[in-house]
Amino acid sequence: MGREHIMPADRVHYRWDNSIRPVLEIEPGDVVIYDLREVSDGQITPAATAHDLPRLDMTRVYPLAGPIAVKGARPGDALEIEMLDLTAGSWGWSGISPGFGLLPEEATEPYLHIWDLSAGTAADLRPGIRIPLDPFCGTIGVAPETPGSHPVMPPGRFGGNMDIRHLTQGATLFLPVGVDGALFSCGDPHAAQGDGEVCVSASEAPMRARLRFRLRKRFSIPGPQFSVAGPLTPKHDRRGYYATTGVAPDLMEATRAATRAMLDHLVRSYGLGRQEAYVLCSVAVDLKVSEVVDAPNWIVSAYLPLILFG
């Protein structure tokens, strides 16, 4: 069994840079405990309103805890990260900011929803619409091999702002090591998210994380890979799904069409405001590529878990 380390809560950085000195150096097999900040780094609080979103200092978003160096990690190896425990804090938020997201035409005014996550298992969008919680790190990666300062977005072969919702407790992530020591960092914790995170906001929340690190020597992989211990969506599957589709010769256009159709369905069938529906799509609706072989049109589907509705 490896040693257990605590990452100091005040040691964060806001950009990827392989020149940042490691906060900790650990042995393969060690465990690190993190208290991760929510993505705005305290600029959004439970008392915030939608008017606070346009005032965000974007240089302070995405505080990443780390980096940590893993002894013996070299380019050509892979870092293995096991998600031992992931626990969201007592509150979170989801927002819509004009100009951002899959459907910018839906984001004409700022919108903010504060989540009460104190129940620990689910949170209400409104009475009768309850979102199961499945915490994970939206941003998780090793230092890029390219020198210099790089923004957190977009992701790369080193990981980064991947927003892979299945990297929940019990999953294992593999990242190709780009520099000596790997220099791993993580942050951007999410309490819940749908595949796609269409409004650029999940349920953003503080999180306590326990991660175990192992090293795969001479295990060259082209980019992030991961394993999941069981069914992908056990908290959502019990009552089935309603799905909308988008059909287009471009996958992004098909994705937009499927999402617009889901927004229309949520407004028509459940009486949601359009901004509420957009947030619900971002935190709970899963986008899936259904077909890419019947040229010239491809199909993307948006899956709505019916368990959300009581």
Predicted pLDDT of residue 93: 98
Predicted pLDDT of residue 1: 72
What are the tens digits of pLDDT across the range 180-225?
999 999 999 999 999 999 999 999 999 999 999 999 999 999 999 9
Residue 302 CB burial class (10 angstroms; 0-12, 13-18, ≥19): buried
Predicted pLDDT of residue 222: 98
Cβ 132 vs Cβ 116: under 8 Å: no
What are the tens digits of pLDDT across the range 34-60?
999 999 999 999 999 999 999 999 999
Predicted pLDDT of residue 178: 98
Predicted pLDDT of residue 310: 80
Q: What percentage of the chain's residues is helix, strand, coil (to nearest 5)? A: 15, 35, 45
Task: For residue 83, give both structure tokens.
Answer: 């998600």
The full set of domains in the chain, from first to last, is 4-227 (2.60.120.580), 237-309 (3.10.28.20)
The DSSP code for 133 is P
Closest to 66 in 3D by CA, of 26, 98, 111:
26
Per-block mean pLDDT, blocks of 10 residues, the chain (310 long):
93 98 98 98 98 96 98 98 98 96 94 98 97 98 97 96 98 98 98 98 98 97 97 96 98 98 98 97 98 97 96
Cβ 286 vs Cβ 302: under 8 Å: yes
Give me the DSSP letters along 108-132. Answer: SS-EEEEEE-TTSSEEEEETTEEEE
pTM: 0.96
